């Protein structure tokens, strides 16, 4: 497959889980991928595997985000995948935790987009794909700040789509439900089998999603076949958003 041949992609949080699946799928479609992550050991191994490039990046450092995107660009494809959740009721959370969750899940999306857009506008082409969450559309018990940030990603993406359609740039959101990743499995350690079954039951298909299923949706939105799709949120969640 080579629908993305000759294009360059920048993927945040690209070293593991959903991010690694996205990197592999975009590379399989022909894209040259820059993998931005904090875990350089995993990122460099993946870069060697797919013929990409690994860069160290803490997405909570917004100045670093803009610098790295500018220095490694330009890009035809921007995938904002990095994210972090916190399972705690709102009254038990702190201002410092709010700020960090917003920085990673929302403000980093601002920073990468701000840095990548000028070159896309000049080229008259671009694909911005932000990995949100069904929590951003439905809310999340024990994840209010995370849900607020992901809701912000959806609204921001719609606004970017409105501002940049005239440049041939699309901006869309993927909203995953529960996806079987090492991070999810670690979160399930405290809840055990009961929490796992509850997550499965929250989907109409009665199972967890797979990282490759999210990656397939990202690859579609990055492809020429999705040229007339912008400002949309695509649920990859087994029907949670119905």
**Structure tokens of 212?**
């490759």
Dmax over CA atoms of the chain, in Å, equals 52
Asked if the peptide bond before residue 74 counts as cis, ω within 30 degrees of 0, the response is yes
The two three-digit tokens of residue 140, written as one number: 């999340």
Judge contact between 8 and 75, C-beta under 8 A. Answer: yes
Task: Please tell me what DSSP assigns to residue 225.
Answer: G
Confirm if 209 and 177 have CB atoms less than 8 A apart.
yes
Task: Write down the residue that tokens 């660009």 correspond to.
Answer: 73
Known catalytic membership, residue 100: no
Phi, psi of 235 (to 5 degrees): -75, 125
Which residue stretches of 83-241 are H helix?
A: 95-102, 108-123, 135-138, 144-164, 182-187, 192-201, 211-222
**Which residues are part of the catalytic machinery?**
146
């Amino acid at each position: 497959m080579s629908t993305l041949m000759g294009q360059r992609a920048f993927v945040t949080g690209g070293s593991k889980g959903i991010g690694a699946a996205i990197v592999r799928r975009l590379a399989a479609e022909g894209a040259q991928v820059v993998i931005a992550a904090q875990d350089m050991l995993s990122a460099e191994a993946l870069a060697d595997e797919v013929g990409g490039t690994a860069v160290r990046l803490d997405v909570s450092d917004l100045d670093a985000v803009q610098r790295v995107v500018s220095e490694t660009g330009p890009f035809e494809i921007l995938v904002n995948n990095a994210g972090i959740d916190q399972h705690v009721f709102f009254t038990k959370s702190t201002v410092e935790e709010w700020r960090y969750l917003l920085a990673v899940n929302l403000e980093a999306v601002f920073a990468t987009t701000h840095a990548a857009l000028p070159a896309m506008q000049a080229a008259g082409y671009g694909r911005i794909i932000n990995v949100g969450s069904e929590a951003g559309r439905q809310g999340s018990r024990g994840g209010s700040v995370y849900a607020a940030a992901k809701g912000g990603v959806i609204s921001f993406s719609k606004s970017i789509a409105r501002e940049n359609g005239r440049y041939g740039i699309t901006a869309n959101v993927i909203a995953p439900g529960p996806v079987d990743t090492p991070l999810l499995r670690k979160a399930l350690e405290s809840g055990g089998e009961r929490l796992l079954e509850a997550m499965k039951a929250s989907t109409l298909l009665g199972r967890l999603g797979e990282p490759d299923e999210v990656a397939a949706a990202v690859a579609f939105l990055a492809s020429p076949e999705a040229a007339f799709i912008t400002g949309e949120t695509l649920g990859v969640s087994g029907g949670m958003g119905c």
